[in-house]
Amino acid sequence: MADDGYRMDRPRQTRSRSTIRGVAWAATALLAIALFIAVDRFWLRASEGLDRTDVIVAAVQRGRLPIEVQGAGVLEPASERWIASRVPGAVQAIRVRAGEQVAAGTMVVSLVNPQLEQAVNRTRLALAEANAEHRRALSNFTDRRLAAQARVLDMQARYDELKLRLEAQTELRDKNAVSDIDYRSTQIRTEQALQNLEFERQRGAELEAALAAELAASEARLAAREAALREAEQEVRNLAVTADSAGTLRELLVEPGQRVTAGTQIARVVDSRSLVGTIRVPESYASRLAAGQRAVATVLNVEVGGVVSRVDPAVTRGSVAVDLEFAAPLPAGARPDLSIRAVVTVAELDDVLFVRRPLRVNDESRADVFRLAEDGLSATRTPVRFGFGTLKDIEVRTGLAEGDAIILGNTARFENEEIIAIR
């Protein structure tokens, strides 16, 4: 029993050693973590600096900076005409192929339409009938006019005869050689003859007006038939679809045997002697463009000067169409749809600071760049406010001075660093 009590009174050392060992391990782990952070912060990061051979720098300059916008596009004809069918029909033959030169009046496509030819024959018969009716009307008008004139002449003769008799009886009455009854009777018949003459003259005038109206109506019917014939013949002539202006046949939209209706587009003729440029520029630059700005286009490796003639107000797939007019002749071989590139000068900045555009720096923005130290051994993060620029250069408004140099390469991995070592 005494032995068991002795065991119970001995101090237990095992738990104390275990606690000390745990604390020691924890302290060692914390020290290792701190050491790793220190190494990563001050040694590994320093070793992640940039090799001098990998550093691409650009110097800040002062001078004139033309603000240019670039775009690519094609040559387009300044004018083009669509040729449409004026009458329905079936394509009988194609006379000209796309790419060929045509003159005004050149037949492009011939159509066939038997109904139109039959209509011409019917209209000719109708015109012949109208001509016969008109000739009959003229003959009738002549007969009626002559009959009226004969009645007037008869009345005139009757009146003249009675007038002479009245004059003779007037002289005899003064000599009491004619009775009053005979004289009065002759006087009454003479007045009646005069009235009849005036009446016939009035009837003749009214008849002339009626005959003139009937003649005008007959002539109008005849003219309508003639116009109908001309129209029918013109429709037959329209079966020959012709170019109404000289140029190049750019596109042909029909094939032999195809049926077309009136108004169907047949072909397109362009004036290949007068070409303009149509380029597309990013929508972000479109607000700077305006008509009248200078442009230089590269056509078949030849630079041709021009001006902006139109800026499309609409945005299509992130770009805006810009039309250019050329001030000089285009090189030989220029034709519609030929690819071109153009540079438009939208502004010219004089006596400004500018530098090569750093990566991911936009116009009118603020960005941090790494400015190279004078000894070239380090680069310091520097906030800069940029202005307008081109694809190559950009204006520096604040943050840098003339002669400063900045790093142009990708420095994204140093986004949390203020200083980069240059090895």
Q: Are residues 96 and 67 in the same domain?
A: no
pLDDT at site 308? 93
Amino acid residing at 230 = R
Helix (H) / strand (E) element for 270: namely strand 265-270
Residue that is last in its domain, among 188, 218, 237: 237
pLDDT, tens digit only, all 423 positions of the chain: 444 444 444 454 445 556 666 666 666 766 666 555 544 444 444 445 677 777 788 999 999 988 888 899 999 888 888 999 999 999 999 999 988 888 888 999 999 999 998 999 999 999 999 999 888 888 888 888 888 888 889 888 888 888 888 888 888 877 777 788 888 888 888 888 889 889 988 988 888 888 888 888 888 999 999 999 999 999 999 999 999 888 888 889 999 999 999 999 999 988 877 889 999 998 877 788 889 999 999 999 999 999 999 999 888 888 999 999 998 888 988 888 899 999 998 888 889 999 998 888 888 899 999 998 888 888 899 999 998 887 788 999 999 999 999 988 777 778 788 888 887
Q: Has residue 27 been placed in a domain?
A: no
Identify the burial level of 264 via C-beta atoms within 10 angstroms of its C-beta, where 0-12 means exposed, 13-18 middle and 19 or more buried: middle
Q: Return the SS3 of 131.
A: helix
CA 322, CA 277: separation in Å to the nearest integer?
8
Q: Are residues 105 and 244 in the same domain?
A: yes
> What tokens were used for 24?
């020691």
Q: Has residue 14 been placed in a domain?
A: no
Q: Has residue 15 been placed in a domain?
A: no
CATH assignment at residue 258 = 2.40.50.100
CB atoms within 10 A of CB 340: 21
Q: Are residues 121 and 104 in the same domain?
A: no
Q: Has residue 329 been placed in a domain?
A: yes
DSSP-assigned letters across all residues of 49-78: SB-GGG--EEE-EEEEEEEEEEEEEEEEES
Contact of 67 with 346, CB cutoff 8 Å = yes
Please choose, from the candidates 387, 376, 391, the residue with its C-alpha nearest in 3D space to the C-alpha of residue 354: 387
Q: Return the SS3 of 318.
A: coil
Q: Are residues 284 and 413 in the same domain?
A: yes
CA 237, CA 232: separation in Å to the nearest integer?
9
Q: Has residue 17 been placed in a domain?
A: no
Q: Are residues 57 and 205 in the same domain?
A: no
The per-residue pLDDT for range 12-48, each reduced to its tens digit, is 444 555 666 666 666 676 666 655 554 444 444 444 5
Contact of 396 with 354, CB cutoff 8 Å = yes
The per-residue pLDDT for range 87-122, each reduced to its tens digit, is 999 999 999 998 888 888 899 999 999 999 899 999
Q: Are residues 56 and 101 in the same domain?
A: no
Predicted TM-score (pTM) of this structure: 0.52
